[in-house]
Structure 1
Amino acid sequence: MLQRTVHRHKVQAAQKGRRSPVWLSMALVPLIGLAYVIMQPTIPRVRDVPLSDDQLRAQVAALTLPPTDALAQRIIVGDEKTRLKANLGRLIYESTWLSRDGKVSCASCHGAIGTTKSERTPASPLVNLAWQEWFGVAGASDSLDAAVLAACEQPEQLDSSRAVVAAAARSLWSREYQAIFGALPAALPPVERLVGTGSPELPQLRLDVAVAATGLASIGSPVLLDDIIEQSLREHIAPAAELARRTLSPMQVSRPWQHQFSQLSAAEAAAVNKVFINLGHALSTYIIGAVTVDAPFDQFAARLTHSTNVNEALGPGFGAAELQGLKLFLGPAKCVSCHNGATLADQNFYNLGLSQRGTRLDAGRAVAVLQAAANPQGCLGSALNAEPLAADCAKTLTLNPRNAAALGAFRTPSLRQLASKTSYMHDNRFASLDAVLSYLNDPRDVPAIGNRDAHLSPLALTKEELAAVGAFLNSLNGRIISLFHAP
């Protein structure tokens, strides 16, 4: 009896130590499933954008640069005089002689044109400008000629003067100048006088009282209603309008050497201005020939015209990720509403609602329209009126200095060749493209001045979708070449 009892307990104990194979497999099922889930790659959170192949073809074609030979014909690259101008422009572009400290050239900030050298610079590359209408971050220049002349004299750029530029024509480029424009003016002073003469003082510009008052009311305010503006103008801000106007006006810096320009005779001043304008035109001729080629997006666009479907057109530098980004760009990301056309810039001005940085307040387009209209080297100025390239002044004539919506608005930049930049936005506040996309995805800053543009609202793009848009933007980077350089 005792032996049977002991045996029975041993059998039961052994049975307890063993589990049924069926029970064991059931226990392992959830563990295997969990391991499978863990081992699987994360499915990208990128929404599908319904676009037919034909719809995509049409939109891609609208974003593609024209062939370079069409641009070459437009700017008469083959014309001998044009080529001579471009050659002189290249010498000016690469020269450090024009800057106040003798160390900075146009290429120092904007990069070399038409070389294999790859470099990143703080300023935007001067490329594809043949399709641009306004120049400068707020459009203070209505032509490329006016823009390059302004750059020579602005303190934050070359910080030079027109007299120094004219001196360079006499000292460095006399032969090149005369081959294009004829002999230097007889009244042009000698180099030693020109170097210390400088530039004439520029006119003092003042904002319209109502625009300035609106700007003062909006400073630091995230939302400004129309009735508040009207009430403020009537009851609160009108007494301070003059103060606001002075605060926001781009008061010109008076430099010690500026008064010396007035010491020149009328003939000498006219000679300096003529040479200055001619050299600026040579420089702009060289710059206008800089274009981008071989961007992966443009190669995709070319393949797409001959492909039976979109996937056939994918290739190096433009694959599935870039295609996803392109579709988001055209759809949920709303980028194309402002970034359209061959350079992906609509030539308009918007207030992105960026917050104040430092103590300097930049009123943006509201000030730039005054500068463009008053610029002696601009389309309405006496200096360039005779130039064929500046004959159409319609856009400048229709500028509205009383448009309060221009406060804090800046030009839509081109999205081509963004890899050439080290910083982004009109004030270079963002160090990476990712930071720009992050802000635009959720723009919540209190605008420094004016009101954020109504079309700029949170996009709620996922991290993966932002990465896809970034991949598409990177596909817009190509090589910068000059149409004037020998192939």
Structure 2
Amino acid sequence: MWFCNTLISQWLYKLSFISALILWISAWPAQANNSPYYFTDDDIQFLAQFRLASLPPLPDSKDNQYADSIAAAELGKQIFFDKRFSANQEVACASCHDPSQYFTDGLVTSKGIAATRRNAPSILGAAYSPWQFWDGRKDSLWSQALAPLESDVEHGLSRLEVVQLLMCFYQKSYQGVTGNKVNANYLFELKGPASPIGSETAKANWQQLTSDEQILVNKVFSDVGKLLMAYQRQLQPLPSRFDRFVAQLQQDPTNISQLKAQLKEGEVGGLRLFMGKANCASCHNGPLFTNYEFHNIGAPEPDVAQVDMGRYQGVGDLLQDEFTCLSEWSDANKQYCQEMLYLKKQGQELVGAFKTPSLRNIAATAPYMQSGQFNTLEEVLAHYNKPVPPYYDRNQHPFRPHFDILPLGLNPEEIQQIKQFLTALTGDLGKADQWWQTPKQ
């Protein structure tokens, strides 16, 4: 009954949002006949759902006992910026998630110790998403944080090496935060690299460890992810001109000069198109401008010889992952793990589908799409305006990919107005708090 009630409440929330969106669209002709800065009470109430001030408290994270510990977040921050946690000592988490670039890297596809396949999404507000990575192959931020550390193209470490580095540089802090009085000297004596994944040498060394040694390494390794998650939960988007515009509407919608100080007339036109005719808000909704769901929007396939299966492959990876909410390394009761317990495992709509990204700071975080296929917002909007169906190869795809969008039919002026509105979603870096600052090592 508890889970059913949760599903019902989520369904009712979505229904109420869709109903409000329909009312907004149906009211479009009346709005278009008024001053661009005139908004009804219903309009303002609808727009208020998109303000950062409407963002709910961080979701519970019962699978990570350190999630809300400031001490854990501070230690996680140190690790996040520490380049020593890489095979060449030149790659940190912050290398691909740079605060000065809203925790992205500005590259078509990210580069760790080698080139990766996908673009680095921003991690601002990522704590609100039930799935991580473009394909959702991780079900928590702590599990997500572990994957790049062991990736041979990102940090290039084995899990034993990660644990040994933690003990070498942060043993006292780790023990203070977690209470885990692990014997660091004992861990230093274990032969690395060692991991159940990775190189043949790493896998062979892992098999040489006893069961108790493997459990110890996995426990500390998972704690590293939980510390990194505690830090990332502190990273929230910064208020933008859009937020100030809606706040002014709520305070005094008749003060046109103050409204104009936040959004220009073209940006207001783009706002109306975004919420109405262009129907962008059907997927990019809420304070973070995302529904966290997966869609195939027909973005060009970067490599037709090796198509990216997106969510379809992500689900397969989830089912094989040893660090999910359901795993022994999770701190949660299994009944808490709703997403994994009721994971959708099959379906045409999974093929080539990718998570809806947040549009917060979108104008400052080019290039776009999962593999940086579009360099500019103009290219993105042109694709949505006249989309091309997804690439299909019957020899590679398990099903013909489902196509999730329809042509917008916008004229050039309307496209420019939406682009102008999107620039109003950029947060003010001058308002960044201490969690954005590079720590002293």
TM-score range, shorter chain: 0.7 to 0.9
Q: Does 1:472 align with 2:418?
A: no
Q: 1:360 aligns with which of 306, 322, 347?
A: 306
Which deviates more from structure 2 when the two are superposed, residues 412-421 or residues 313-322?
313-322
Residue identity over aligned pairs, in percent, reads 27
Q: 1:323 aligns with which of 240, 245, 268?
A: 268
Assess, with a 3 A threshold, how the Cα gap between structure 1 residues 277 and 73 changes in structure 2: closer, same or farther.
Answer: closer
Q: 1:88 aligns with which of 56, 72, 75?
A: 75
- State the TM-score, normalizing by the size of structure 1: 0.71
Deviation digits for residues 94-115 of structure 1, max 9, x if unmatched? 0111122211111111112xx7
Q: Does 1:422 align with 2:366?
A: yes
Deviation at 1:360, TM superposition (A): 1.8
Unaligned runs of 5+ in 1: 1-47, 202-252
Is contact 2:348–2:400 with CA below 8 Å preserved after alignment?
A: no
| Count of residues in correspondence between the two structures | 380
Deviation digits for residues 55-112 of structure 1, max 9, x if unmatched? 32122111122368x748989xxx9981110111111110111122211111111112
Equivalent-residue separation in structure 2 for 1:332 and 1:130 (angstroms): 31
The within-5 A match list for 1:83-482 is 83-112=70-99, 121-122=106-107, 123-186=120-183, 189-191=186-188, 193=190, 196-201=192-197, 255-309=200-254, 311=256, 314-358=259-303, 359-384=305-330, 386-387=331-332, 392-448=336-392, 449=397, 451=400, 453-479=402-428, 481-482=432-433
Is contact 1:363–1:407 with CA below 8 Å preserved after alignment?
A: yes
Assess, with a 3 A threshold, how the Cα gap between structure 1 residues 367 and 188 changes in structure 2: closer, same or farther.
Answer: farther
Assess, with a 3 A threshold, how the Cα gap between structure 1 residues 88 and 361 changes in structure 2: closer, same or farther.
Answer: same
Equivalent-residue separation in structure 1 for 2:367 and 2:67 (angstroms): 38
Equivalent-residue separation in structure 1 for 2:348 and 2:177 (angstroms): 44
Equivalent-residue separation in structure 2 for 1:387 and 1:483 (angstroms): 30
Structure 1 match to 2:36? none
Is contact 1:442–1:458 with CA below 8 Å preserved after alignment?
A: yes
Is contact 2:160–2:194 with CA below 8 Å preserved after alignment?
A: yes
Q: Secondary structure at the match of 1:66?
A: helix
- State the TM-score, normalizing by the size of structure 2: 0.78
Deviation at 1:438, TM superposition (A): 1.1
Amino acid at match of 1:134: W
Q: Secondary structure at the match of 2:336?
A: coil
Amino acid at match of 1:258: K
Deviation at 1:153, TM superposition (A): 1.5
Equivalent-residue separation in structure 2 for 1:150 and 1:412 (angstroms): 21
Is contact 1:352–1:452 with CA below 8 Å preserved after alignment?
A: no
Equivalent-residue separation in structure 2 for 1:354 and 1:322 (angstroms): 26
The within-5 A match list for 1:3-82 is 50-51=30-31, 52-66=39-53, 71=57, 82=69
Deviation at 1:310, TM superposition (A): 8.2
Deviation digits for residues 253-291 of structure 1, max 9, x if unmatched? 654422211111112111111111111111111111111
Equivalent-residue separation in structure 2 for 1:185 and 1:118 (angstroms): 33
Is contact 1:289–1:483 with CA below 8 Å preserved after alignment?
A: no
Q: Secondary structure at the match of 1:402?
A: coil
Which deviates more from structure 2 when the two are superposed, residues 147-156 or residues 460-469?
147-156
Is contact 1:291–1:483 with CA below 8 Å preserved after alignment?
A: no
Which deviates more from structure 2 when the two are superposed, residues 180-189 or residues 350-359?
180-189
Deviation at 1:367, TM superposition (A): 1.4
Unaligned runs of 5+ in 2: 1-27, 32-38, 108-119
Equivalent-residue separation in structure 2 for 1:364 and 1:188 (angstroms): 42
Amino acid at match of 2:417: A
Amino acid at match of 1:399: L
Q: Secondary structure at the match of 2:236?
A: strand
Q: Secondary structure at the match of 1:282?
A: helix
Is contact 1:53–1:309 with CA below 8 Å preserved after alignment?
A: no
